[in-house]
Structure 1
Amino acid sequence: MILNLNIYNITQPVIKEANKSSLLKRFLIKSMEGFLIKRLSKLNSAIEDSILKVEGTHVHLKELSTESANDMLIQIKQSISNLEKIYEKMQEHNFLDNNNELKSKFKYLLKSLYKSEAITHKIVYKEKETLKTDESIKKGIIKMNSHFYKKTV
């Protein structure tokens, strides 16, 4: 019996399988990159659209009644909360590190929502009754502040 040591034939199955998996890997990476680019593009355009809509409501928010402003304030706070959670998740996964444009647009959207919240907050709490602070409490606070200031200086 003659031992045939043909290394090429021995390694050929490994090479074929590696090439198949490499081909599959390249196909998946390219398709995933395309998918990710499309998703980022859609997210970018959705953020731009939302920014324009939120900024457009600033003028109309000032005309709201107290009750409708209160309802709007609740909606705005829920939106801010949801967007902050999404932003934190994106930060955890380093999603925004490589995309400064998306990060800045996301921050600008939050800034616009905070402005809307401030406008509606003023309307809701404008007519609320405020409590007067008792004079003894005011004098006590002044005394504490002056005592603390003397210690630090």
Structure 2
Amino acid sequence: MNRFGSYLVRLLRVAIGFIAGLAVAAAMVVILDLNKGGLPEPLAGAAAIGFFTFLAARMLWPLLLVLLLAEVMRWRALALHLGLGLLAAAAVLGWTWWQAPQEVPDPILGEEPVLTTARIAVTLGAGLCGALVSWLIAGRSAGLPIPERT
């Protein structure tokens, strides 16, 4: 295969790994059911997937730049990819906390804090699982082989 074809294959593997990682992270949040009966199940699943698609669109460019840097620098370490997954999850948690209303939730009305221990754990776990899937698909073989000079 020529060099252009190998570049296309690597680009395809990175894109598939990124999309699969996002899908696993969204599925983890839907499966662990942060809904607690507020919405019917199909509607809650559709809303969660739509919300995470929106978040992915907001975080797409920084994450893709980091993946591009990992490809160019040939970083293959699982710990690096898991750390980046935790960093992305922490960014989501920070964005959620920043967008939250400032008033204290009223337990009489059934309100709960925006960031609970369960939500933090699920978000961090989703970031780790998404990073693991992305590493399994594209990160283990990051970077192209250095062409031999003749």
Task: Tell me if TM exceeds 0.5.
Answer: no
Structure (1/2) with the larger helix percentage: 1
Between the two structures, name the one with larger relative contact order (CA 8 Å, sep ≥ 6). Answer: 2
State the TM-score, normalized to the length of structure 2. Answer: 0.30
State the TM-score, normalized to the length of structure 1. Answer: 0.29
The structure having more radius of gyration, on CA atoms, is: 1
